[in-house]
Amino acid sequence: MRKVTVFPKSNAVKKEKILNVLLGSSVILLFLISWELLFQFRLVNPLFISSPSRVVLALITIIKDGSLQQNLTISAKEFLFGYGVAILIGFPAGIMLGWFKLIRAAFGPFIAAMQATPRIALMPLFIIWFGLGITSKIVIVLLSAIFPLIVNLQVAMSTIDNDLIHVARAYGASRWQVFRSIALPTSLPFLITGLRLAAGRGLLGVIVAEVFGGAAGIGYMIQYAGSTFQTDKVFAGVLVVAFTGITLDFTLDRLGRYFDRWRGEVAVH
């Protein structure tokens, strides 16, 4: 009896999933088709809006002449450097802020103030200090990515289950052992969330910094194409950035699910 009632249910879930994917993709498709039609029938000045087919052509062109790879490499370098340093500093800093009351009291207000400052507004200063090269972009990425990490790990430390600490202490755990066996595992899902937010902010940082004052990179490529009315190339650049962002987020989400597999409800097998 039970099985009979369970089977149609799981089937219904599957059907709903398929329907959701169909609905989602058809809206995107509809958008692309109307965009292309808008262009083909010259309803809007083609110079302004380009079209999906022309964007694809532009993409092929910049891949063929190697300019995409060249700019992408530079942007990736800026991003990875800044992101990496943000992790190296942000992870321990967030943990320490959450773990030690005095450190939180000392640095909390300073960090809150830093976080409230719009980083990109400091770009002119960074250009004066570090020049138009990749260093100023790395600094922007670092400052964009570090705060979500610090904040998330600080929050992680405040969510530690006190009963577990009680148990650890009852078994004679030292402070370091409590930290390693309870605080660190607790912080892992928060670290992943922090990494996802930081990746998004960091990516934004790279592009804005390059658009704002760069001599190379995807952001610079977009900016240059825009100022010379190469709308196709602008869209191609945006597409590359969006694709990178989605890939990065998807990877980190998967990583998060893997580390969260003890939590039942989001189990992956």
One residue of 43, 167, 215, 266 binding another protein per CB under 8 A: 167
Burial class (CB in 10 A: 0-12, 13-18, 19+), 107: middle
Tokens of 36: 């292309």
Burial 116-131 (b: 16+ CB within 10 A, else e): eeebbeebeebbeeee
Nearest approach, Cβ of residue 111 and another protein (Å): 28
| Binding track over 110-139 against another protein, x by CB under 8 A | ------------------------------
Stretch that binds another protein, among 101-109, 170-178, 216-224, 243-251 (CB under 8 A): 170-178
Name the helix (H) or strand (E) containing 200: helix 184-213
Report the C-alpha gap between 248 and 69 in whole angstroms. Answer: 18
Listed in sequence order, the residues at least 6 apart from 187 whose beta carbon sits closer than 8 Å to its beta carbon are 95, 153, 156, 157
Q: Which stretch binds another protein (CB under 8 A): 53-61, 77-85, 118-126, 257-265?
A: 257-265
State the minimum distance, in angstroms, from the CB of residue 207 to another protein.
Answer: 37
Query: C-alpha angle with apex 75: 232 to 67, nearest 5 degrees?
Result: 45
What is 130-178 written as a DSSP string? H-SSHHHHHHHHHHHHHHHHHHHHHHHHHT--HHHHHHHHHTT--HHHH
Site for another protein (CB under 8 A): which residue of 5, 28, 47, 172? 172
x/- track of binding to another protein for residues 188-207 (CB under 8 A): x-------------------
Cβ(236)–Cβ(55) under 8 Å?
Answer: yes
Report CA Rg, the chain: 24
Minimum CB separation of residue 163 from another protein in Å reads 4
Nearer to another protein, 125 or 184 (CB): 184
Closer to another protein by Cβ: residue 110 or 171: 171
Identify the residue among 34, 69, 177, 247 touching another protein (CB under 8 A).
177
Q: At closest approach, how far in Å is the CB of 25 from another protein?
A: 35
Least distance from another protein to the Cβ atom of residue 142, Å: 30
Nearer to another protein, 48 or 163 (CB): 163
Number of helices followed by number of strands (H, E) in the chain: 12, 0
Binding to another protein by residue 182, rule CB under 8 A? yes
- Interface with another protein by CB under 8 A: which residues? 161, 163-164, 166-173, 177, 181-182, 185, 188, 262-264
